[in-house]
Amino acid sequence: MTISKERKAELIREFGKNDQDSGSAPVQVAIMTDRIRELTEHMKSHKKDFHTRRGLLMLVGKRRRLLSYIKSNNIDEYRELIGRLGIRDNIQ
């Protein structure tokens, strides 16, 4: 259920400022989005897995808080990020 080291390194290269930038908010959002997509696929075939559902909901909440932080600091970066990740704009 976790993402591979190679996929994580690829996301860090794509969304980070450099290859070592794993902690910036856009990189964290990209990694969470990848995990959310993976867990969503898991939940489609395992509908009664409530532990995974709770973890998925917690990830979605954490990603939402990070996205609202990015939006409050730099609206252009926020719009570019959600466009590149293919997620909807529903942050108030």
pLDDT by residue (tens digit) across 20-77? 998 999 999 999 999 999 999 999 999 999 999 999 999 999 999 999 999 999 999 9
**CATH label of the domain that carries residue 64:** 1.10.287.10
In a domain, 92, yes or no: no
Give CA–CA dist 92/29, Å, rounded: 17
Give all strands (DSSP E) within the chain, no chain letters. none
Domain count, the chain: 1
In a domain, 69, yes or no: yes
Per-residue model confidence as pLDDT tens digits over 1-25: 688 999 999 999 999 999 899 899 9
Contacts of 24 (CB under 8 A, 6+ apart): 15, 16, 17
